[in-house]
Amino acid sequence: MKTVILAGGFGTRLSEETIKIPKPMVEVGGRPIIWHILNIYAAHELNDFYIACGYKSEILEDYFRGEWAAADNLARSRVTCVDTGLETMTGGRLLRLREQLGGQAFAVTYGDGVGDVDIAGLLEFHRGHGKLATVTAVHPPPRFGALDLDADDRVRVFAEKPLSESGWINGGFFVFEPGVLDYIDDESTPLELAPLSRLAADGELMAFRHHGFWKPMDTLREKNELNALWESGEAPWKMW
């Protein structure tokens, strides 16, 4: 199965780093975060990658032409970088890869998030339900302390970093059948808006619930948190 990494965005919320490099090249533990993402998939025997580039695509292309495969499971990987356009939206980037995907089911994720997602379980779930699309549902990471107030404005409970068990958000780590591409109108279409909404309305979108670790790298704070986890030797997403 081929795996697409959506790696073309501007990464404006991490502008401290992305003014010089694309966000997937921002380092965690001395390696670009995209290296970590590829390792997650390769640990589950998915080794055929298409990098949907855009912003500063030449930096990603140069990296994957070099000596980047420093882990045994990545040494068997094939990586193809495709410039899918500077202004192309996420759905449009998939459209530009239609020919390379060859009419088969494919995996997709973003180039800026990691997790201990059970990729094998995700694929089994997708194949079992027979629908066009699967999204990995995750709990949003804690960002702010929660306050439980009474009627007199007294704080009954203060939780510094509560983790909500009630809400689910899009965690990426998708599996799509080729028919998903028919839900994407053109290159200006964000995958996360009309295509996924229409798939859900048609009963063709299923959620694989992930209860483990997941974290995006949208801000400098999140980058520093991921680096701290890696340096501690306890990075939950390291499955290789």
Q: Is residue 239 part of a domain?
A: no
The per-residue pLDDT for range 159-182, each reduced to its tens digit, is 555 555 557 889 999 999 999 999
Q: Is residue 8 part of a domain?
A: yes
Q: Is residue 153 part of a domain?
A: no
Beta-carbon-side half-sphere exposure of residue 151 (alpha carbons within 13 Å): 0
Pairing of strands 2-7, 174-176: unpaired
The CATH number given to whatever domain includes residue 202 is: 3.90.550.10
Count the Cβ atoms, other than its own, within 10 Å of residue 21.
17
The per-residue pLDDT for range 21-78, each reduced to its tens digit, is 999 999 999 999 999 999 999 999 999 999 999 999 999 999 998 877 666 678 889 9
User: Is the whole model's pTM more than 0.85, yes or no?
Assistant: yes
What domain range includes position 211? Answer: 2-138+166-231
Q: Is residue 145 part of a domain?
A: no
Q: What share of the chain is helix, strand, coil (3-state, %, to 5)?
A: 35, 25, 40
Q: Is residue 80 part of a domain?
A: yes
The structural domain count of the chain equals: 1
**What backbone torsions phi and psi does residue 57 show, to the nearest 5 degrees?**
-60, -30
Q: Is residue 238 part of a domain?
A: no
DSSP secondary structure letters along 60-112 = HHHHHHSS---SHHHHT-EEEEEE--SS--HHHHHHHTHHHHTTS-EEEEETT
Q: Is residue 74 part of a domain?
A: yes
Q: Is residue 220 part of a domain?
A: yes
The per-residue pLDDT for range 108-124, each reduced to its tens digit, is 999 999 999 999 999 99
